[in-house]
Chain A
Amino acid sequence: NAGVMQNPRHLVRRRGQEARLRCSPMKGHSHVYWYRQLPEEGLKFMVYLQKENIIDESGMPKERFSAEFPKEGPSILRIQQVVRGDSAAYFCASSPRGGGLNTEAFFGQGTRLTVV
């Protein structure tokens, strides 16, 4: 039973390029969360998705960032025209439901984005 899979583990992009980060949730999980961790900082919420729906994107920058979780396939976090400040570790988590008792989120290993 594979856990949450994120790829790539490391991604290097030049300023102005696009970055695509993928997250395959655990089997049976229909809720996905994306978090960003800047160096020496904690986990910052970005977006919460269910299949084909964005539930909460209050943590997403208004420009250049988008996320989707299609009916089939992984969740994608897309960053257009990357800048140096986008360099961070991006973590994806999944859960079988959005809340309630005994709901744990399971994290992937993260994608470390470096913008040069």
Chain B
Amino acid sequence: DQQVKQNSPSLSVQEGRISILNCDYTNSMFDYFLWYKKYPAEGPTFLISISSIKDKNEDGRFTVFLNKSAKHLSLHIVPSQPGDSAVYFCAAIYRGFVFGPGTRLSVLP
């Protein structure tokens, strides 16, 4: 049973527009959430995080929103750039890291 879900396997967005990647979780004990980005043939790299005591964290073009009551978080990328094309993994921490299955983002020029 997946504790961290990313229901959209893929997403295509036009360059310059907003990309919104979604993530849902089931374990209310998760207290820290992260987004990772992965290019082919490379390991995932950390992108941005948010603790369960916050509802928003922003870093440049990237903003993560957390809705604890809905057990939902999202990553907003604005404006989207072709170099953002990658697989994005949502992760949550309770004891150790639990990753979602990933969403493949394609930013079209």
Instruction: From the candidates B41, B45, B95, B100, name the one contacting A42 in the complex (CB within 8 A).
Output: B100
Closest to B46 in A: A104
Question: Given that A42-B99, A45-B98, A45-B99 are contacting pairs, would A107 and B93 also be in contact in the complex, using a CB cutoff of 8 Å?
Answer: no
Question: Given that A42-B89, A109-B42 are contacting pairs, would A104 and B34 also be in contact in the complex, using a CB cutoff of 8 Å?
Answer: yes
How many of chain A's residues have a CB under 8 angstroms from any CB in B? Answer: 29
- Of the four ranges (under 10, 10 to 19, 20 to 34, 35 or more), the interface on chain B belongs to 20 to 34
Q: Is B62 an interface residue (CB 8 A)?
A: no
Q: Is B51 an interface residue (CB 8 A)?
A: yes
Tally inter-chain residue pairs, CB-CB below 8 A: 75
User: Shortest Cβ distance from B20 into chain A, in angstroms?
Assistant: 19
Q: Report which residue of B36, B89, B93, B97 has the largest number of chain A beta carbons within 10 angstroms of its beta carbon.
A: B97
User: B21-61, CB under 8 A of A: which get 1 and which 0?
Assistant: 00000000001101010000111111001010000000000
Q: Is A69 an interface residue (CB 8 A)?
A: no
Closest to A109 in B: B43
CB within 8 Å of B: which A31-57 residues = 31, 33, 35, 41-43, 45, 48, 55-56
Instruction: From the candidates A91, A98, A102, A112, name the one contacting B96 in the complex (CB within 8 A).
Output: A98
Roughly how many angstroms separate A95 CA and B97 CA in the complex, as a whole number? 10
**A55 to B43, Cβ gap below 8 A?**
no
Roughly how many angstroms separate A91 CA and B41 CA in the complex, as a whole number? 11
